[in-house]
Amino acid sequence: MQRILLLLAVAGVPLFGGCAAITNPVADGVPVRRLPAEVLGRPKSELKAIPLTMLKQPESDPYLLDKGDVLAVVADNLIAPDTQIPPSKLPDATSNTAALGYPIPVNEDGTISIPRLSPIPVKGLSVVEAEKLLREYATGVRGGLEIVKPSSRLTVQLLQKRRYQVTVVREDSQPVPTQTGSQVFGGNRKGNGYSLTLEAGQNDVLRALNATGGPPGLDARNEVVVYRATKGKPLNPTALLDGVSRKQLVMSGDAVAVRIPLRLYPEQQLSISAEDVTLRDGDIVYIEARDTEVYYTSGLIGGGQYPLPRDYDLDVIQAIAQVRGPLLNGGFTQNAFVANSVGSGVGNPSPSLCVVLRKVSPTQQVPIRVDLNRAFIDPRERILILPGDIIVLQERPGEAVGRYITQTLRIATNFDVIRSASLNSFGSSNNP
């Protein structure tokens, strides 16, 4: 009887303080089922990737001329005598275009200059329309002055499409591209820059990404930002390698930032236009590295900081499993360096009181109470872990008392066995 009373007295020691299950300061959390949806967070699994075709400019058929294009023009007795053979261009490594004629560029004002003719406006016209307009100017249909005979050779072909110089600055981990026409500056994890020359029709965000390693990696934000000059002067691409300069660039009014999200919730509308994804001279395509999103652990799991995945969710059970915390195993830790993988004896109660501390404002947090035993059978109890959450795992008071009594009885039983063995051994040695 005295032994039983002694065991009960020892088992009651945790009730007087010193037991984390009794003194747990966040034990009185708000149950998951009583929280509003905005506190619980929205699953990342609902985000859908936008079609990559949205990053590509619409095909223009036929090709429309603009400043920077170079035409191959044959105009007898205007550019050269009709007895002279015009130059020809065959496809090569840089272009698959074949053309016959003298190179005539499209000027800044969208016109072409042919000797003895007035400037011919070709901006916005197809090559066929430009040739027709040249014939009208040369034969007097327009202007009333016939310069050459209608039977003269007057042809227009596209010799070289206009080209755009753009810069791509990436802060994600991407290999250095080997495509022809790209020049790399920078070269560390903070930021890599690529200078690209893109032909008209190919000057869009999708092709700029493909030329520099593809869509943003997992260590980048799920968006692409295009910085575009607003005051007519070119932007400094190396400035974007500094995290402060890009903000000053927009705030000063020298540039406008076009943000293109790559993943959206179903009800969100993608508010970008073909103009937004079409790149111009001097544009900078920027892929920013994302800040690592983490959650924290404490209590029986042990203190730690662990990363959250970018594109999929972790619920509370998955987060504890990721750090090898105790789940339905009698509170036996898998993080300790021990030879065995299970506790001795009949085991202890499994800790089931989990509290997730979540910030709802810079100065306020909500303790969310999760019953791990219920969470294994009820998916509604498995709260999603959000960036900055702190997972505190402790025993309930009943679980702590049960574990303490189990350990105490186990120690007392072992002591009795050892003492009985010792007495028997001593008594047998004294017998003749």
CATH architecture of structural domain 70-160:
2-Layer Sandwich (3.30)
Q: Coil, strand, or helix at residue 276?
A: helix
Distance between CA 203 and CA 216 in Å, rounded?
A: 18
- How much is the pLDDT for 415? 45
Which of the residues in the chain have pLDDT under 50?
14-17, 178-181, 184-189, 244, 337-342, 345, 414-415, 417, 419, 423, 426-430
The residue assigned the tokens 């004294």 is 430
pLDDT in tens, 297-356: 998 888 899 999 888 899 999 999 988 888 877 655 655 544 444 455 455 677 888 899
Q: Is 430 left (phi over 0), alpha (psi -120 to 50) or beta?
A: alpha
Structure tokens at 70: 């170079």
Cα-flanking dihedrals φ and ψ of residue 352, to 5°? -130, 0
Residue type for position 360: V
What residues are paired with 197 via a beta bridge?
A: 165
Domain residues of the chain, as ranges?
2-43+313-413, 49-58+163-287, 70-160
pLDDT tens digits, one per residue of 28-56: 888 888 888 888 888 888 889 999 999 99
* Residue 219: per-residue pLDDT: 83
Record the pTM. Answer: 0.72
Q: Which of these, 238, 256, 261, 245, lies nearest to 192 by C-alpha position?
A: 238
For position 23, what pLDDT does the model report? 65
DSSP 33: G
- N-terminal to C-terminal alpha carbon distance within the chain: 36
Locate 364 and state its tokens: 């306020």
Query: Given this model, what pLDDT does residue 426 score?
Result: 43
Closest by CA to 298, choosing from 394, 392, 389, is: 392
Per-residue tokens: 416: 């009795």
Peptide bond into 62 cis (omega under 30): yes
